[in-house]
Amino acid sequence: MAAALIHSADFVHADSFPNPQLLRPQNGVTGKKEVGSGNGGKVGGLKFRSWLFPDVHVMNLHWQVGRDVSIVEESRADTVNINFQMSGHMNTRFAGIAREVGMHPHQHNLIFSPEGHFRNTVRAGEQVEMFHISLRKKYFSDLIGCDDRWSEHVQESLLRDRPFAGVESNAGMTPYMQKLIGDIKQSGQSGPMQRLMLQSKVLELVALHLGQMQADTPRAPGLTVAETGRLNELKTFLDVHFLEDFSLPQLSRLCLLNEFKLKKGFRELYGTTVFAYLRKLRMDFAVNLLVDSSQSIDSISEMLGYEHSQHFSTAFKRHHGSPPSSFRS
């Protein structure tokens, strides 16, 4: 039986179901979540939650598919869209992108399709869950900068409104990505502090996603593209969580690499060990605190996890060549 062809506006009320690719004020104040449902007979049932932050729209969508269906969307959208496929299978054809994008559970991808025309095809009986993040084009451009070949290509495409997919094949979700998504989904409180915390988790998830999109990042001999992507993601994770204590087994589980591959690969890719990199991040952070804050050396030492300030001073001098007090003067 042929799949039913349906326009998205025909099966849910536009006011109750915000397009995940649009960042519109009617979705609520920053951080507001919405729960809704739709049942168009042919398409099955829909449930969703939606959060709107400045320049960012997040939607968690559950779709119980009633029959083979193709949903067509024709709205233009000036956003970059990241989709984390939590469950179910779906094939999507985007205007301006040659290949069909097939999404499978625990995969994620990035799409920029400014014409907004796309078609989602799903088979009957699928239980689809998507965690979708849309970012305003200029905001996304400012986020990624232009420091590598992948970013240069993306910036050129954004400037010319040229559609693109982040990578040729979808990337795999890591356990930490799934944890972040779970934390966001489980949040049930409101208020300025909670919204800031939610937004920080969303941006951390975006950063980890982008780490896997760096397909053109040079890789060391002996590392596959997938292994390089996992190490890039680990490095991005450490850039945020460098004040926390980690063991090698913990880091190994985070990046889905065995301990030998993690140690050897990190050194080959970045020219340093993973723990030396963590130490550099902490010591550079200490310099910033010494120069730009009034916190005492004892307080900074404690923040960096040293039981005694003299141990911190010794490690600091070994790393920077001067004691912490010299940066205060």
Topology adopted by domain 4-174 = Jelly Rolls (2.60.120)
pTM of the shown model: 0.66
Looking at the structure, give the CATH architecture of the domain made up of residues 277-328.
Answer: Orthogonal Bundle (1.10)
CA distances from 310 to 51, 99, 223, 242 (A): 47, 59, 40, 21
pLDDT at residue 35 is higher than 70: no
- Residue found by looking up tokens 């699928």 in the block: 126
**141-154 pLDDT, tens per residue?**
998 887 777 888 88
Sorted by sequence, the CB contacts under 8 Å of residue 150 that are 6+ apart come out as: 213, 214, 215, 216, 217
The domains of the chain are located at 4-174, 277-328
Q: Which 3 state secondary structure label does DSSP give 201? A: helix
Contact 39, 17 (CB under 8 A): no
Provide the pLDDT for residue 8.
55
Please tell me the distance from the alpha carbon of residue 321 to that of residue 329, in angstroms, as a whole number.
Answer: 15
In the 3-class helix/strand/coil scheme, how is 169-198 assigned residue by residue?
Answer: CCEECCHHHHHHHHHHHHCCCCCHHHHHHH
Quick one: pLDDT band at residue 263, thresholds 50, 70, 90? Answer: very high
Which of 111-120, 196-205, 256-265 is predicted least confidently?
111-120
CA distances from 24 to 54, 115, 229, 276 (A): 10, 18, 33, 45
- The string of DSSP letters for 99-119 reads S-EEE-TTEEEEEE-TT--EE
